[in-house]
């Protein structure tokens, strides 16, 4: 289906989400280090249909990571998956050009729904 770059600084969550993406038929390219994720995107920016990132990370927050991705490819579909988003986070994401801020899904069905919405939003002009 889609090749998705996913960044989360917590290895267990990165592993869980990557498995969910794979079970849903997507190719998951997963990172726990934002610098490595940016480097991988820089190497092949057109190869990713979607970029997902955690919001709260110590080295670089998800909004700053998204900005780095969008500097490399202005039309990249980037969204935040988070356990807790404040209204100011949602506003910052919109201002940065992200296509969405979604709650981290707890079930495979929730992940499938979230991905469907994000991939549909990424196809909008």
44 burial (CB, 10 Å; 0-12 / 13-18 / 19+) is exposed
> Taking the domains of the chain in order of start, what are their residue ranges?
3-122
**pLDDT recorded at residue 125:** 52
* pLDDT at res. 102: 84
User: What predicted TM-score, i.e. pTM, was given to this entire model?
Assistant: 0.91
d(CA 78, CA 52): 6
Of residues 62, 70, 74, the one with CA closest to residue 104:
62
Q: Looking at the DSSP assignment, which residues form a beta bridge with residue 103?
A: 82
β partners of residue 101: 80
**pLDDT of 76-119, one tens digit each?**
999 998 887 788 888 888 899 999 888 887 789 988 988 888 88
How buried is residue 37: exposed, middle or buried, by Cβ count under 10 Å (0-12/13-18/19+)?
A: buried
**Fold designation for 3-122:** Rossmann fold (3.40.50)
Over residues 2-61, the pLDDT tens digits come to: 999 999 999 999 999 999 999 999 999 999 999 999 999 999 999 999 999 999 899 899
């Amino acid at each position: 289906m889609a090749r998705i770059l996913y960044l989360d600084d917590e290895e267990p969550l990165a592993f869980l989400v990557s498995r969910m993406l794979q079970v849903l038929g997507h190719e998951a390219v997963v990172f726990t280090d934002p610098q490595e994720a940016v480097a991988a995107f820089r190497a092949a920016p057109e190869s990713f249909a979607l970029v997902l990132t955690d919001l709260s990370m110590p080295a670089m927050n998800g909004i700053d990571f998204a900005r780095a991705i969008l500097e490399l490819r202005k039309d990249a579909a980037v969204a935040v998956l988070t356990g807790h988003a404040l209204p100011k986070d949602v506003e910052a994401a919109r201002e940065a050009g992200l296509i969405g801020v979604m709650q981290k899904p707890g079930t495979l069905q929730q992940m499938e729904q979230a991905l469907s919405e994000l991939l549909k939003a990424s196809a909008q002009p």
